[in-house]
Structure 1
Amino acid sequence: MSFCRILSVLLFLSLGNQGFSQIKSKVTGQVLDVVKSEPLVGANVYWEGQVSTGTITDIDGNFTLEAMTFPSKLVISYLGYEKSIRVIQAKEAEKPIKFYLKPEELSLQEVIIQERRPDEQVKNLEIGKASVPIETIKNIPALFGEVDLFRSLQLLPGVQTAGEGTTGLFVRGGSADQNLVQLDGAPVYNASHFFGVFSVFNPDALKKVDLYKGNMPSQFGGRASSLIDVSLREGGKDQIHGEGGIGTISSRLSIDGPLFGKNSSFILSARRTYADVFLKLSSDPNLNNNKLNFYDLSGKFSFVIGEKDKLSISTYQGSDLLGLDNQFALGWSNWVSAVNWNRVSSESSFFDMQAYHSRYSYKVDFEDRDNGFEWTNSLSESGVKAAWTKVIKEPTTVNWGVHSQVYHFAPTDLIPAPDSPISPINTRSVQGILNNLFVGLAHDFSPKVSTEAGLRWGLFNQLGSGMQYFYPNDLPEPNQDPTDSLAFGNLESMKFYQGLEPRIAFRYLINPEFSVKLAYNRNFQYVQIASNSSAGLPIDRWILAGNYTPPIRSDQVSLGLFKNFQSNRWEVSLEGYYKDLDNVIDLRNGAQVLFTDRVETELLTGRGWAYGLEFLLRKNTGKTTGWLAYTWSRAWRQIDGISRNQPYNPRFDRPHDVTLVLNHEFSPSWTAGLTMVYTTGQAVSFPVGSYVVDNQTVPLYSDFRNQNRFPAYHRMDASVTWKNADKGRKWRGSWNFGVYNLYGRKNPFAYEFRTIFNDDINFSLSDGEIFSARPGVVMTYLFTFLPSLTYNFQF
């Protein structure tokens, strides 16, 4: 019996030690797409039979899950991918585990909108945030067949456009320069090609895009209205992949794959138009000597350094050129670079560091013997940002950090031709530095009540060298000379501003499918554009905060109701907001801001406000997906010296905006897309009369600004896509046929008030004898029925 007892004890200890050795407190891993090795965000990870205690993957596809007694079955699921069930052994769980999911061919079209948790909009704290999956953007009918990021964002509630053929965005009553557009954390100062017809982002190279128009986290700031956060995707780590397209006016190609083995990857992307190639084929000498093209290049190099560190280097370079008969040329370009270092210090502590540089420049050449000139200008921003995140306890997360930005706005140089009577112009450069400290806290008080609070403190200095002017009664006037001036040396402080930017948001979960959210957000903006054009031009002048141009202050309150139906198949939301703006600028009538060191004499400063309701109904899964959006909104400005000091609407005030976006899968090979848009016409000033000066009829305008409107804007776009079924082929191709403005609506781009001779709007004074003359209005429109054909491919 004694031997049996001893044997029993030894057997018990052996089994017991084995059981204890198989228990690990945490299991970590990463979920990836098997084709491209890209991380899958929001994948469900849980032990078999214990769905309620599972977790989801983060932005890098990583997860951490409480361990079980091994061996145990781990389940990985993601919408549109085959479910993975894997038996995990104790030894296997000692290190991070990688899981590769295979796409389900028959369900790929069902994930057009669903690249996030099905109940995300109800359960998260975010209000006024929209995430548009790249696959959704690629399936929206496009102008010239050119898939465009900004044109897709215009289809969301609360986002207005400047008009036909432009990608300028006006978010919740803010002007276009009140949007911070950043690529992997680096700002992009002119994010458009072809004078705003296309944005600079090639969708094949993008991972995701987030639009913050309401509550903005404390780590972001610098603009009064919104943040458009664009991320380049990482290359696959298994083999070389490629995708691209050949379209009506441009072609594109992206290649990605491993760089130096499994721990590094790259992606390179290029796009170029060939409109200038078609111009050379014309027999008209007025056309075949013209140049019209743009290109962009982007790349990202990612490196995994050990188990805790990750480094990525991102870069973008793009350029536009418009040349007319070798006499006039306008070109502009962006160069953006960013380095990001991410470190996972522990399971609950994270560190991110970023350094970036962004430069924008333009050049105008006018070849003329008598009046020729060359005009150049550039601006740049460099910055460093460090952020720490700490999960104190499971319901409480704290983040804090610092962000330093250096601005350099170069002089405007106008150099006349040798025999030109034009005088040279050289304005002063302007410098500034902005240091930001930020802290944020997220806490779940209960399963129903969550809050997020943040504080950002900005300290801005305008720096010399420079000149500060003084005016009578401290009021700059264009026809009044300054009474005195003060010179500042290099890097000497000329003007200092500081401001606290509190942010707070609440979410109350009424039930698992219905929530209420409330948020307050304050932002300061220390740079803004002084321009006569609401659409945005390459030569627009950026203004740094200074003695007579204080920073814009924006306060916004948002309230939203969010509801899901039919197991998250349907989403509906209703958001209301009120935004108050202070220190917004506008130009005096007839202002000239491009070639002056005393730009403050051409500007007027005042206040603004905006309010609105945004409705969104979205279908996430099924053969037919898409959304219906309606926005009712108003935007106002009140600035002394404009419109007799009375409130007026900026041009982008459009009270009613309706969009419908649909995508339907007929079969694995055939899909179709449809977009419908209706919006109130933009606010404008039409002449109230005319008068004659030197035998020329000149229009007379009212003192009140923007009291008239263009007709309502509406159009319908449609597209059909055919693709080969994916049966293991290395080369996968598809054809897309689209029609922009399906029923040929002539939406006005501009109106010209002039004298019409012989009842012919195209009649020129050199065309012959004049029989009649009358005042008239000539409407210009850009696009009617416009078909396109694009071949897309992957390999």
Structure 2
Amino acid sequence: MPKRTFRFLAIFVLLCSVSSLIAQQKVTLSGYIKDADDGEALIGATVFVRETKSGSASNVYGFYSVTLPPGKYIIEFTYVGYQPIVKQVELIKNQRLNLEMAGESQQLEEVVISGERVDANVTSTEMSTNKLDIQTIRKLPAFLGEVDVLKSIQLLPGVSTVGEGAAGFNVRGGGVGQNLILLDEAPVYNSSHLFGFFSVFNPDAVKDTKLYKGAIPAQHGGRIASLLDVRTKEGNSKRFEANGGIGTVFSRLALEAPIVKDKSSFILAGRRSYIDILARPFLQDLGDVGLNFYDLTMKTNYDFDKNNRLYLSGYFGRDVFEFDENQGFNWGSKTASLRWNHVFNARLFSNFTAVYSKYDYQLEFGEDARDKFTWDSDVTNYMFKPEFTYFVNNYNEVSFGGSFIYYTFEPANAVGVSAGERIDFSLDKKYNLESAVYLSNKHELSDRFSAEYGLRYSMFRYLGPGVAYEYGDAEPGERKPMTGVKNYDRWETIQTYSNLEPRFSFKYQFNASSSIKGSYNRMSQYIHLVSNTTASNPLDVWVPSSNNLKPQIGDQFALGYFRNFGEGNDYEASVEVYTRLAKHQVDYIDGADILINEYLEGDLLSGDGRAYGLELYLKKNVGNLNGWVSYTLGRTELQVEGINDGKWYPTRYDQTHNLKVAAFYDLNERISLSGNFTFVTGTPTTFPTSRYVVQDILIPYISDEGRNNIRLESYHRLDLSLRLEGKKMKKGKERKNEDYWVFSFYNVYGRKNPFSIYFSQDEDRVMSGEAINTEATRVAIVGTIIPSISYNFKF
């Protein structure tokens, strides 16, 4: 680590010590804020001190801290969808105050109700951030009636996908592999089930979903486009609860209950699709065709005392696509997170996390044991993250800590058998160590101006054992020749990279209803997703940075105006502009061999990327009719020597216009309607520009080295949904159980949105000298209306 980084940390520790001595004349109120119904921690609940007009917010574990001079104060606790609590407290010494907030339909004793709302979208320093609670996600129309986290965030500005059947999502012109997706702090490398139609996140287990498109906090790194932070529920610590649903494609069940009431709880949530079972009568002629997915999410926690709490969570999921007993492929993820929250004192909160994460896929085809091919690949992480938050005072909240990640990449464990003879195509494993330290401060400089600034220092080491290849120069766009080979022993360093990653964001508040915000962040990404397919798929290749492949560097600038209208935050509006510049972006030569290629780095090219755009967002929060409209005007391009004659060209996921509308309407207490409409400019693709004929076979080719030279037709789709709540009363008594039906209609007007277009030659032979007929075929993954029904319950 550079000496300047040590000096920076030392100066900061000294400043904290001085601040601590100055603040000794003050006292601190701290505690946890939870849901009164099930004991779940409330993330981002606001704590506001009326007398000082300052406050704080609870962190991702529900912990808050405010520091004040001794005296009497009126403190407001608010959280959207919950009854506000107003407490009068007399602070003489440090005091712990834990609270349980009731939903709007409930009311706690000994509280004062306040009708004020906190305009967090205006007053918070955060920008380029969207948060969707699970209640909103459940209301949205969904494919085959099943609500989905990833499909929901695609309705937000700046978020897109290349179409149905595409795994993952794109943010502000970034690739699928440039998004850091965390499930309880564990990285998820493939977030999709069933080729992108569903996500791996079980809605019955999800508590909070937050997407950072920019202004990413300093404690996070490793990707240059975005961060999706998904937190699962802790389990009902009050009583037993069961949630579930029976749908067209899969069924799900979640069980949660206290182990020790108000001290320890658990949640266990599972899903299993039955597409293979429903389709079996229609596929008997094809043999034992199987297509299904399943997953299991679990979490438990234990309160040792007021200062120590332990969490253990895990996920296991798999997709299976079998053609018969000898052929097919499958893929899946496993994660485990062990977290220990420790409160050192009223102002110093810590969290220590140990993580295991693995993504793997397996492919097998052949006739029998004497003639077959098997291939499996995986990416495995072992991670440790110590994190600290120091509440200096109500105007300074300091975060610092680090992370250590050990990677193993197995690109291919591949074996072929031909006529009983075994041939090994396997590639060597790759080993890497990534570490980082960070420091940041949320600083409220005045009633109007606040800022969050920080610095992250990251280091990446490419380790042995292994073989490092050296490549020489080649003509732009051509395969590089190998010029040397060097062997390395275990733990020997092959290549080292390090980067400083500054972060800065600010907010200037004009008045109670409007503010302007700006941000800058630099991110480094040391691993790369290499794909030459139309859209990301489960067999894409993850590779680490090496002596030939430099880490990706991304710089993003954003500026936004935020405004609320009406009393009580009835309407929210925002306008953001952004520019993202990227270095060392990976592309490939024409005819590149991506799969099981020992010399893959010789086929890869490196260049620059740029993305810029405008995002508009308008949301209505109250009334029987509510929802939002988002619009993005954007552009994302690459410049790689050897492609498109060295000129800028659009990426596969470049979309000029992206319009999304989501609306909800309550007809009465039992019936509600929802709908969403999507219009997106067609994505670019590569078409041949010329052709030649050899022995009556037409061979297309691209004469100008162009890439993504044609744009597909625009994509648009309308989805509708009706939700019917179960009766609240039964035989004159209020029902304890809850249930509801969902009737969904996906792609209402049956639009055949093009996913890709391919060309083929007419099979009829032609006389010599006559023109050969060709035709273009448009592929639509979903080309008709898809109705569905699901039944959901809770007891």
TM-score (norm 1): 0.89
Q: Indicate if the aligned counterparts of 1:186 and 1:338 stay in contact, CA closer than 8 A.
A: yes
* Aligned counterparts of 1:530 and 1:422: Cα–Cα separation in 2: 29
- Report the 3-state secondary structure (helix = DSSP H, G, I; strand = E; otherwise coil) of the residue aligned with 2:189: coil
User: Residue 739 of structure 1 is aligned with which of 745, 748, 769?
Assistant: 745
What is aligned with 1:331? 330
CA distance 1:372–1:477, shift in 2 (3 Å): farther
What is aligned with 1:669? 670
* Aligned counterparts of 1:481 and 1:58: Cα–Cα separation in 2: 53
What is aligned with 2:582? 581
Shift in Å, 1:752: 1.9
- Report the 3-state secondary structure (helix = DSSP H, G, I; strand = E; otherwise coil) of the residue aligned with 2:121: helix
What is aligned with 1:11? none
Are 2:452 and 1:452 aligned?
Answer: yes
* Structure 1 range deviating more: 80-89 or 407-416: 80-89
What is aligned with 2:708? 706
Amino acid at match of 1:425: F
CA distance 1:225–1:283, shift in 2 (3 Å): closer
* Aligned counterparts of 1:508 and 1:75: Cα–Cα separation in 2: 23
What is aligned with 1:720? 722
Q: Indicate if the aligned counterparts of 1:196 and 1:536 stay in contact, CA closer than 8 A.
A: no
* Aligned counterparts of 1:666 and 1:51: Cα–Cα separation in 2: 43
What is aligned with 1:319? 318
Equivalent pairs counted in the alignment come to 749
* Aligned counterparts of 1:547 and 1:408: Cα–Cα separation in 2: 17
* Aligned counterparts of 2:738 and 2:392: Cα–Cα separation in 1: 48
What is aligned with 1:113? none
What is aligned with 2:360? 361
Q: Indicate if the aligned counterparts of 1:74 and 1:87 stay in contact, CA closer than 8 A.
A: yes
* Aligned counterparts of 1:479 and 1:59: Cα–Cα separation in 2: 48
What is aligned with 1:293? 292
* Aligned counterparts of 1:320 and 1:186: Cα–Cα separation in 2: 20
CA distance 1:579–1:592, shift in 2 (3 Å): same
Higher Cα radius of gyration: 1
Are 2:180 and 1:180 aligned?
Answer: yes
What is aligned with 1:604? 605
Amino acid at match of 1:386: P
Shift in Å, 1:166: 2.7
What is aligned with 1:12? none
CA distance 1:671–1:51, shift in 2 (3 Å): farther
Shift in Å, 1:687: 2.1
* Aligned counterparts of 2:56 and 2:461: Cα–Cα separation in 1: 45
C-alpha distance after superposition, 1:550-601 (max 9, x if no partner)? 0001011111111111131111100001111100110111111221222111
Amino acid at match of 1:394: N
Q: Indicate if the aligned counterparts of 2:528 and 2:542 stay in contact, CA closer than 8 A.
A: yes
What is aligned with 1:616? 617
Are 2:430 and 1:430 aligned?
Answer: yes
* Aligned counterparts of 2:84 and 2:519: Cα–Cα separation in 1: 38
Shift in Å, 1:153: 1.1
Which aligned pairs between 1:247-326 and structure 2 lie closer than 5 A? 247-282=247-282, 284-286=284-286, 289-326=288-325
Amino acid at match of 1:731: N
Amino acid at match of 1:571: E
Are 2:269 and 1:243 aligned?
Answer: no
CA distance 1:469–1:30, shift in 2 (3 Å): closer
C-alpha distance after superposition, 1:268-296 (max 9, x if no partner)? 1101100010122226412x520000001
CA distance 1:53–1:573, shift in 2 (3 Å): closer
C-alpha distance after superposition, 1:242-269 (max 9, x if no partner)? 1111111001111111123431110111
Which structure 2 residue ranges, 5 or more long, are not aligned?
Answer: 1-25, 108-115, 766-770
CA distance 1:72–1:222, shift in 2 (3 Å): closer
* Aligned counterparts of 1:139 and 1:294: Cα–Cα separation in 2: 24
Amino acid at match of 1:743: Y
Q: Indicate if the aligned counterparts of 2:84 and 2:101 stay in contact, CA closer than 8 A.
A: no
Amino acid at match of 2:597: T
Q: Indicate if the aligned counterparts of 1:84 and 1:101 stay in contact, CA closer than 8 A.
A: no
CA distance 1:512–1:283, shift in 2 (3 Å): closer
What is aligned with 2:736? 730
CA distance 1:76–1:668, shift in 2 (3 Å): farther
What is aligned with 2:392? 392
* Aligned counterparts of 1:652 and 1:172: Cα–Cα separation in 2: 10
Q: Indicate if the aligned counterparts of 1:105 and 1:726 stay in contact, CA closer than 8 A.
A: no
Amino acid at match of 2:211: L
Q: Indicate if the aligned counterparts of 1:36 and 1:241 stay in contact, CA closer than 8 A.
A: no
Shift in Å, 1:58: 4.6
* Aligned counterparts of 2:762 and 2:366: Cα–Cα separation in 1: 32
Amino acid at match of 2:353: Q
CA distance 1:28–1:688, shift in 2 (3 Å): closer
* Structure 1 range deviating more: 94-103 or 64-73: 64-73
* Aligned counterparts of 2:491 and 2:222: Cα–Cα separation in 1: 22
* Aligned counterparts of 1:357 and 1:241: Cα–Cα separation in 2: 29
- Report the 3-state secondary structure (helix = DSSP H, G, I; strand = E; otherwise coil) of the residue aligned with 1:745: coil
Q: Indicate if the aligned counterparts of 1:381 and 1:406 stay in contact, CA closer than 8 A.
A: yes
Are 2:538 and 1:532 aligned?
Answer: no
What is aligned with 1:774? 773
* Aligned counterparts of 1:395 and 1:496: Cα–Cα separation in 2: 39
* Aligned counterparts of 1:511 and 1:71: Cα–Cα separation in 2: 28
What is aligned with 1:485? 485
Q: Indicate if the aligned counterparts of 1:372 and 1:420 stay in contact, CA closer than 8 A.
A: no
- Report the 3-state secondary structure (helix = DSSP H, G, I; strand = E; otherwise coil) of the residue aligned with 2:652: coil
TM-score (norm 2): 0.89
- Report the 3-state secondary structure (helix = DSSP H, G, I; strand = E; otherwise coil) of the residue aligned with 2:267: strand
- Report the 3-state secondary structure (helix = DSSP H, G, I; strand = E; otherwise coil) of the residue aligned with 2:713: coil
Which aligned pairs between 1:506-521 and structure 2 lie closer than 5 A? 506-521=506-521
Amino acid at match of 2:628: W
* Aligned counterparts of 1:648 and 1:744: Cα–Cα separation in 2: 32
What is aligned with 2:682? 681
C-alpha distance after superposition, 1:761-780 (max 9, x if no partner)? xxxx9xxxxxx983111112
* Aligned counterparts of 1:71 and 1:214: Cα–Cα separation in 2: 40
C-alpha distance after superposition, 1:26-52 (max 9, x if no partner)? 6555443333222334556679x9796
Amino acid at match of 2:338: V
* Aligned counterparts of 1:44 and 1:501: Cα–Cα separation in 2: 30
Are 2:204 and 1:204 aligned?
Answer: yes
Shift in Å, 1:141: 0.5
CA distance 1:577–1:78, shift in 2 (3 Å): closer
* Structure 1 range deviating more: 780-789 or 268-277: 780-789
CA distance 1:553–1:83, shift in 2 (3 Å): closer
Amino acid at match of 2:344: S
- Report the 3-state secondary structure (helix = DSSP H, G, I; strand = E; otherwise coil) of the residue aligned with 2:688: coil
Percent of counterpart pairs with the same letter?
Answer: 33
CA distance 1:632–1:448, shift in 2 (3 Å): same
What is aligned with 1:786? 786
What is aligned with 1:651? 652
Q: Indicate if the aligned counterparts of 1:371 and 1:422 stay in contact, CA closer than 8 A.
A: no
RMSD over aligned CA atoms reads: 2.9
Q: Indicate if the aligned counterparts of 1:635 and 1:653 stay in contact, CA closer than 8 A.
A: yes
Q: Indicate if the aligned counterparts of 2:589 and 2:604 stay in contact, CA closer than 8 A.
A: yes
User: Residue 749 of structure 1 is aligned with which of 736, 741, 755?
Assistant: 755
CA distance 1:234–1:695, shift in 2 (3 Å): same
Which structure 1 residue ranges, 5 or more long, are not aligned?
Answer: 1-23, 107-115, 759-764, 766-771
Q: Indicate if the aligned counterparts of 1:176 and 1:534 stay in contact, CA closer than 8 A.
A: no
C-alpha distance after superposition, 1:41-73 (max 9, x if no partner)? 4556679x9796776655444555789999999
What is aligned with 1:5? none
What is aligned with 2:20? none
Q: Indicate if the aligned counterparts of 1:668 and 1:725 stay in contact, CA closer than 8 A.
A: no
CA distance 1:257–1:712, shift in 2 (3 Å): same
* Aligned counterparts of 1:420 and 1:680: Cα–Cα separation in 2: 52
